[in-house]
Amino acid sequence: MNVPFKHALLAVTALSVLTLPALAQDAGGARSYAPVTNDMILNPPAEEWLMWRRTLDNQGFSPLDTINKDNVDQLTLAWAWPMAEVGQQETAPLVHDGIMFLSTNQNIVQALDAKTGDLIWEYRHVLPELPASYGYQLNQARRQKNSIALYDDKVILATVDAKLVSLDAATGQVVWETQVYDSSLGYSYTVGPIVVNDKIISAISGCSIAQTAGGCYIAAHDVNTGEEIWRFNTLDDPNNPEQQASWGDVPPENRWGGTPWATGSYDPRTNTTFWGIGMPGPYAELVRGSGDGDVLYTNATLALDADTGERKWHYSHLPRDNWDLDSPFERVLIDEEVDGEMRHLLVTVAGKNGIAFALDRDTGEYLWSKETVYQNVVTSIDADGRVNINEDLIPTAIGEEKYICTSVSGGKLWQAGAYSPQTKAFYVPLTEACNTVSASQSEFTAGNAVGAMRFGPRVLPEGIENAGVIDAFSVIDGEDVWRHEQRTVPTSSLLATAGGLVFGGDAGRFVKAFDDETGEVLWEQRLNAPIGGHPMTYQIDGEQYVVIPAGFSAQAGSSASMYPEVPVPSGSGNSIFVFKLPANSGN
């Protein structure tokens, strides 16, 4: 299909940017700002948080240790900030040069003084008006996860209306703006890019909307101009006959899904970028007409050359998905010695069935896997990594119900896990859940998804009482380190630190700090709303701060039937809370 591409340099309007007096200013009146160099992107300063998981390997680990096991119970609130917009709270605050950059739903970007919480500037992206009937497309604007990245003296924003925008980091003024995809068809960005070697590498969503058949993309753009460098279609790879044959009789122009729902990772050693890819659409092969094929590259890891976008390898984590158990979530890159040999690993709990995988990231070779929560869809994984599914659970008639574990809201979701090189353990937030599914047949309408599936209420698997799990396991062999279970589900990503801590939060409004070796809860604080987004940490003037986002959570709402005794707030409450040690703590 042809997707219009436009490029324009735009001057910002006075209404879209609010700039306030800053504490540290240059002679011209603007706050000084040191550029983020490519070397900093490859090896970020310990005291800063320059991208959604701090490093390009997506480990979610901070080398800061001022806050540690011995003093974490002394944390106090330093400051808090209400977010500018309601909606699903999945933000990833960034910090550089004493400034916190915060992106919220509807593509509002704010710069705050990271020490005091004072607003420096605010940018509000002007979005097109859509008909009220475009339900799914409108929802995309309310589910922004980590929409920004820092590079040079710019903030790179990926927008709901499928644009990339470069903002001046000191002022919030627009430097350039590029229309990458046609948003009128339903394309939108719901996650932000990585930026490395002067390239913005991003992935689009909206690929399950009626008008976007035939294309879902990962692409690279020039960071200085916004010009496209390459584009890879996750649904149509004419260079791979296996991929084409895997869709059976469905031609490329009738394929949906294949969305890269989470920001990718990057390995500078091989100049490779890794992205997880989501489910096919419609969800049931009965409706999509693909037969018993694997429908590549859905539910796969894709390894792409960062300079050209050419595929190096792929691995299918859930072939022939019929239940919306997509597997697009963070791919974590880890170098560890295994059996006396240094291995370059890619470790991921890829998706909603909750199965952890370790691959050789140079070749895509399967190394090991581990089940983390109860599931009934995957029956076995062969020695060569071939995933086998329970074909009895595939719908064979419209309206026929199948009982699926995990559910559409279960297993591993967008909340990212964290890896600690100190313990060599991967810490993952998970949900125990099941539901019935049944294929449906309905008209595909503009602005709405083509899932064609009905889902029953989320219920706990038989014999299981706790919906929430934090699972810690070794990246060497998948062996268990510890496991924390609780009634409510985790609703935030996890943060691991050199202080021996793992931070995360849940639908019950508790943020907790766990001992990274034992899983013991060392500190907890109840906030105003379910914990959400991506907790992070930074340091200024020798003081370490921990940032905890909170607010409306789709996971808390969709799973609430499993813990009815825990009230879930009906309001938004979208805020960030910033904690530090008290001045008299001696640290």
What is the distance between the alpha carbons of residues 115 and 98, in angstroms, rounded to a whole number? 7
Determine the pLDDT at residue 9: 35
What would the 3-class secondary structure string for 496-546 be?
EECCCEEEEEECCCEEEEEECCCCCEEEEEECCCCECCCCEEEEECCEEEE
Average of per-residue pLDDT across 233-248 = 97
Average of per-residue pLDDT across 392-412 = 96
Q: Residue 442: pLDDT above 50?
A: yes
**CA 289 remoteness from chain centre:** 30
More confident residue, 370 or 106: 370
Query: Count of CB atoms within 10 A of residue 37's CB?
Result: 11
What is the distance between the alpha carbons of residues 205 and 181, in angstroms, rounded to a whole number? 10
Determine the pLDDT at residue 140: 82
Determine the pLDDT at residue 25: 45
Determine the pLDDT at residue 4: 38
Q: Residue 251: pLDDT above 50?
A: yes
Q: Residue 108: pLDDT above 50?
A: yes
More confident residue, 562 or 2: 562
Q: What percent of the chain has pLDDT over 90?
A: 86
Query: Count of CB atoms within 10 A of residue 333's CB?
Result: 22
CA geometry: angle at 335 spanning 331 and 341, to 5°?
Answer: 130
What are the pLDDT digits (tens) for 259-280?
999 999 999 999 999 999 999 9
- Among 108-122, 466-480, 558-572, the range scoring the smallest mean pLDDT is 558-572
**Tokens representing residue 207 in the block:** 């690929």
What are the pLDDT digits (tens) for 145-181?
899 999 999 999 999 999 999 999 999 999 999 999 9
What are the pLDDT digits (tens) for 504-529?
999 999 999 999 999 999 999 999 99
Tell me the average pLDDT of the chain: 93
Cα distances from 181 to residues 5, 7, 106, 150, 506, in angstroms, run: 6, 11, 17, 22, 35
Determine the pLDDT at residue 12: 37
**Tokens representing residue 208 in the block:** 């399950």
Average of per-residue pLDDT across 366-389 = 98
Which band of pLDDT confidence, cut at 50, 70 and 90, is reported for residue 585?
low
Q: Is the dihedral of CA 566, 572, 576, 579 positive or negative?
A: negative
Backbone angles phi, psi at 179, to 5 degrees: -85, 105
Determine the pLDDT at residue 201: 98
pTM, two decimals, is 0.94
Determine the pLDDT at residue 6: 36
Report the candidate in 21, 44, 72, 155 with the shortest Cα–Cα distance to residue 513.
Answer: 72
What are the pLDDT digits (tens) for 19-72?
554 334 444 456 789 999 999 999 999 999 999 999 999 999 999 999 999 999
Backbone angles phi, psi at 298, to 5 degrees: -65, 150
CATH architecture of 6-22+37-585: 8 Propeller (2.140)
Determine the pLDDT at residue 552: 87
Which band of pLDDT confidence, cut at 50, 70 and 90, is reported for residue 587?
low
